[in-house]
C-alpha cells in the first residue's frame, strides 16, 4: 500500500504550535480595509486556533 500524502493546501495555511494546537490566519485581512470596522481589523490581528473536532481531522492532513 502506498504512503499517505499530506495535504499541501493545509500545510501552507496551518502551523502547529508547541502545545500541539493548530494556528490559522483570519480571513478578510488583505485589502479593502476602509470598508471594514476598526474593531474587526483589530480582532483579526489576534491568533486564531482551530477547534478540537476540526483539529483532529486537520492533524491527519498535515502529517508527514
What average pLDDT does range 6-21 have in this prediction?
94
- Residues facing 48 on adjacent strands: 24
In a domain, 45, yes or no: yes
Q: Tell me: pLDDT of 64 over 70.
A: no
Please, which pLDDT band fits residue 63 given cuts at 50, 70 and 90?
A: confident
From residue 64, alpha-carbon distances to 3, 7, 13, 39, 57 in Å are 9, 9, 15, 38, 14
pLDDT tens digit sequence for 17-44 = 999 999 999 999 999 999 999 999 999 9
From residue 24, alpha-carbon distances to 3, 18, 63 in Å are 26, 14, 16
Residue 39: domain span: 8-26+35-62
What pLDDT is recorded for position 31?
95
In a domain, 3, yes or no: no
Instruction: Tally the domains of the chain.
Output: 1
**Pair 14, 23: CB distance under 8 Å:** yes
Amino acid at each position: 500500500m502506498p504512503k499517505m500524502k499530506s495535504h499541501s493546501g493545509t500545510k501552507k495555511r496551518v502551523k502547529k504550535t508547541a502545545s500541539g494546537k493548530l494556528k490559522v490566519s483570519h480571513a478578510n485581512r488583505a485589502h479593502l480595509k476602509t470598508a471594514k470596522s476598526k474593531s474587526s481589523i483589530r480582532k483579526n490581528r489576534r491568533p486564531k486556533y482551530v477547534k478540537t473536532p476540526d483539529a483532529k481531522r486537520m492533524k491527519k492532513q498535515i502529517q508527514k
